[in-house]
Amino acid sequence: MDQILGNISLLIQFPVVNINIVLQGVLIGAIFVLAAYGLALVWGVMNVKNLAQGDFVIAGGYASWWFNTNLGLPALLGIPLAFAILWGIGWVIYKLVIRRVIERDLFTSLLATFGVGIVMAQSMNLLFSADTQSLRLDYDSLDFFDNLVNLPIAKLVGAITAVSLAIAVIVFMKRSRMGQAIRATAQDARAARVMGIDTEKVYAFTFSLNAAICGAAGAIIVLVWEIQPFFGMGYSIRSFVIVTAAGLGNLPGVIAAGFGIGILEQFGAHIFGISYQQAIAVLLLLMVLIYRLAQQRRNRQVLQ
Amino acid sequence: MNKTLLYIALLIISIALPFVFPNYTISLTAMWLLIIVSLTWDMTGGQMGYNSLGNIFFYGTGMYVAAITGISMVYDVGQYTSAAGGGINNFTATQYFSGLGIGAVAAGIFCAISAVILGYLLFGLRGPYFAIGTLGVAIAAGELVSNWEWVGGGQGVSLPVYPGDLDEGKFFFYYLFCTLGIATFIFLKWLYSTRFGAAINAIRDDEEKAEAMGIHTLRYKLVTWSIAAFIVGLAGAFSGYQLIQFEPLETAYQTINLGIFMVVCVLLGGKGTLWGPVIGAILFHVLKEVTWTYFLGWQWVALGALIVVTVVYFQDGLMGWLKHVRPEWFGERVEQKPGSKPSSASQAEAAQ
C-alpha cells in the first residue's frame, strides 16, 4: 500500500514521468491496435471470435526471430517475412477449422479457436522452448528532460511500422476490389453471394489477412519487447478489450481504445508493479464488459 | 427394473474400481473430478444455455479457501505460507480432518456466494460475451492470487500430508470424490425432473419468452450457477488436500487445462443431457491418459487438436448422435410408416 502511494506521489511530484509513461503506452498501443483491428475484421466479416489472435502474434514473432537467428537475415526484414508466413498459417487454419464453424453458433467458434490457440502455443513451446526471446535493434535512444523521458528509437521504428501497416490495410479495404468485396460480405453475406462475390474466397482472404497482420505485429514485438510461447493469451484478451470497448465496425474507436489500453496498462504497471500487468489487462476487459452491460441495461437490453 | 439393475451395477463398479486397479487410484480420482466438473458445467452450459469458460474460478477459489481455512485453524496463515515447505506442517489427524471438513464447507459456501455476486455482474452478458467475461474472471483471479503474498504468492500453498498410510490416503480421496460425484449425479437427476429443471431449460430455449411467461430468469440463473459453484468449490477443496502442494496459475486457476477440459467433456458426451457429461468425462479421461502415454512431449498438441476436432466435427456428442440414431431410447416417439418394420434408424429418419 505504501509502495502504491509512493508511486502515485512520484507521478505527481515529477509530472514529466507521466509523459514518459504516456509515450511508452502509445508505442505499445500501436501494436495492440494492429491485433485488435485484425480481430474486428474477422469478427465483423465472418462473425467468428478468434481466441487464437494472440497466438498468431506470438507465432509471427517466432517466425521473425527464427529467420534472424538461424539465417542471419536483418531484423527488420522479419516483419514482411512474418506477414507472409502467417498468411499461409492463417489460410491453412481457415481451411481446416474456421470454414466449418462460420455458420455455427458463436460459442463454437470461440471454443474451436481456443483449441487452435492451445495447439499453436504448445507447438511453439516444443519447437522454440519456453524461454523468452527477443531481437535487439542496436539503435540509440532519444532522451528528454534530463533523462526522465527516454524514447528508444527501436520502439519508435516499431510504432511507425505498425501505424504504416495499419494505414496500408485501411487504404486497401477502402480502395481495392477485394476490400470492397470484404466490406460487402460483412454487410450482407447472402446479398454479396447473389451479386457474384465468391464469399468463400473472401472469408479465406479475410482470415489469412488477419493472421498476417497479427504476424507482422508479432515481428514488431520481438524487436522491441520479448516473446514467449504462452504470452499469446494476453494479446488475445487485449484485442477483445479493445474491440468490445470500441464496438464493432468502429475503426476510430478501435484506434483510440488501443492507445487507451496501452497507456492505462503502463500507468497500472507503474503504480501497482509490473507483475500486475496481465491482471490489469483482464480487469480492464471485465470493466469494459460491465460498463457496456450497464449501458445496455438502461435500454432494457442485453449484450449479445 | 432393468434401469435399477444398471444403476446398482454401476455403483458396485465405482466402489470396486480402486480394488481392481489399485495402481490407477490417482488417475481414477482425477476421472471423478472430471465427471463432477463436467456435470456442473452442464448445469449452466447445457441445461441453461450459458456457456461459461470460467467455472475453473470456483475450483481454484475452493482450493484456496479450504486450504486457508484449514491452516488458519492451527497456524497463523501469513507465517505458514511464508515458510512454505520450511517444515511447519505438524498437523494431528483431528486437525487435518476438521480442517478438511470445515474448509470444504467454507469453500463451497464462499464459492456459492461469489457465484451470486459474479452472476449479478455477468448474467446480462449473452453467448460469447458471457464466455469471455467468465474466462476473464478466472484469469484475473489467478493473476491476482499469484501476487498475493499472504496466501503464498506465485509459489502457492503446501498443505499437510494425509495422516496415515499413503495408500489409505489415495483410497480416502478416491471415495471422497466418488461420493461427491454420485451425490451430484443423483441431485441433478432429481433437479432436472422438477419444475426448476423445466424453468432453466426454458431459459436456454428462449430467455425472453421464459421471462414473459413469468419466470424470474435472473433468480433462476443465480441459483443454478451458485449450486454449480458450491459443488465445484467442494471438488476444489478436496483437490487441494489431495495434491498437497498447489500453486495459483498452473494448478488452482488452470484455465487452459481443467477449465477447458470440462467444456470439451460435455461436448464430447452430449450437451444438455444427464449422462452426456459423465460419458464424455470418462471418454476424455481415457483419451487423455492415452495421449499422455503415447504422444510423449506432444501430448498437449494432441489434446488441443482433440478439442478442435470435438468442437468442429462432433459437437452434438455421443448422446446427440445416439439420439439421432435411436430416438426411441430417449422416449421420443417415432411415427412409423404403415407396413414398415419398427426401430430402424434410416426408416425413423425417413418417417420424420
pLDDT for the residue B336 = 58
Contact assignment for B129 to A289 by CB distance below 8 Å: yes
Contact assignment for A237 to B121 by CB distance below 8 Å: no
pLDDT for the residue B343 = 47
Q: B2-50, pLDDT tens digit by residue?
A: 788 888 888 888 888 888 887 888 888 899 999 999 999 999 888 888 8
pLDDT for the residue B41 = 92
Contact assignment for A97 to B304 by CB distance below 8 Å: no
pLDDT for the residue B180 = 92
User: How would residue B351 be classed by pLDDT, with cut points 50, 70 and 90?
Assistant: very low
Enter the C-alpha cell of residue A41: 475484421
- Mean pLDDT confidence for A271-300: 79
Q: A27-85, pLDDT tens digit by residue?
A: 888 888 888 888 888 888 888 888 888 899 999 889 888 888 888 777 778 888 888 99
- The ipTM, to two decimals, is 0.81
Q: Hey, is the C-beta of A290 within 8 angstroms of any chain B C-beta? A: yes
pLDDT for the residue B147 = 83
> How far, in Å, are A10, A17, A149, A150, B78 from residue A145 at the CA level?
16, 9, 6, 9, 43
Q: Hey, is the C-beta of A302 within 8 angstroms of any chain B C-beta? A: yes
Average pLDDT, chain A: 82
pLDDT at B172 over 80: yes
Chain A residues with CB under 8 Å of B311 CB are 101, 108, 111-112, 115
pLDDT at A247 over 60: yes
How far B63 CA sits from the closest chain A CA (Å)?
20
Nearest CA-CA partner of A241 in A47, A32, A86:
A32
Q: B90-142, pLDDT tens digit by residue?
A: 677 788 888 888 999 999 999 999 999 998 888 877 777 888 888 888 888 88
pLDDT for the residue A249 = 67
pLDDT for the residue A296 = 75
Of B139, B256, B308, the CB nearest to A97: B308
- Mean pLDDT confidence for B154-168: 79
Structural domains in chain A plus CATH codes:
2-298 (1.10.3470)
Cα atoms found within 13 Å of the Cα of residue A103, Cβ hemisphere only: 5
Picking from A154-158, A214-218, A226-230, A248-252, which range would have the lowest pLDDT averaged per residue? A248-252
Between CA B131 and CA B3 the distance in angstroms is: 36
Enter the C-alpha cell of residue B282: 470418462
Helix (H), strand (E) at residue B126: none
- Chain A residue with minimum CA distance to B303: A119
Strands A149-152 and A141-144: antiparallel
Contact assignment for B140 to A282 by CB distance below 8 Å: yes
How far A282 CA sits from the closest chain B CA (Å)?
6
Of A115, A237, A302, the CB nearest to B304: A115
pLDDT for the residue B39 = 92
Contact assignment for A278 to B147 by CB distance below 8 Å: no
pLDDT for the residue B115 = 92
Average pLDDT, chain B: 83
Interface of B with A (CB under 8 A): 51, 53, 121-122, 124-129, 131-133, 136-137, 139-140, 143-144, 146-147, 256, 260, 263-264, 267, 297-298, 300-301, 303-305, 307-308, 311-313, 315
pLDDT at A239 over 50: yes
User: How would residue A186 be classed by pLDDT, with cut points 50, 70 and 90?
Assistant: confident
pLDDT at B335 over 80: no
User: How would residue B348 be classed by pLDDT, with cut points 50, 70 and 90?
Assistant: very low
User: B99 near B73, Cβ under 8 Å?
Assistant: yes
Give the A:B interface size as CB pairs under 8 Å. 121
Nearest CA-CA partner of B184 in B278, B325, B260, B252:
B278
The winner for highest mean pLDDT among A140-149, B82-91, B106-115, B336-345 is B106-115
Of B267, B305, B312, the CB nearest to A101: B312
Enter the C-alpha cell of residue B188: 441433478
- Mean pLDDT confidence for B242-256: 83
Contact assignment for A289 to B125 by CB distance below 8 Å: yes
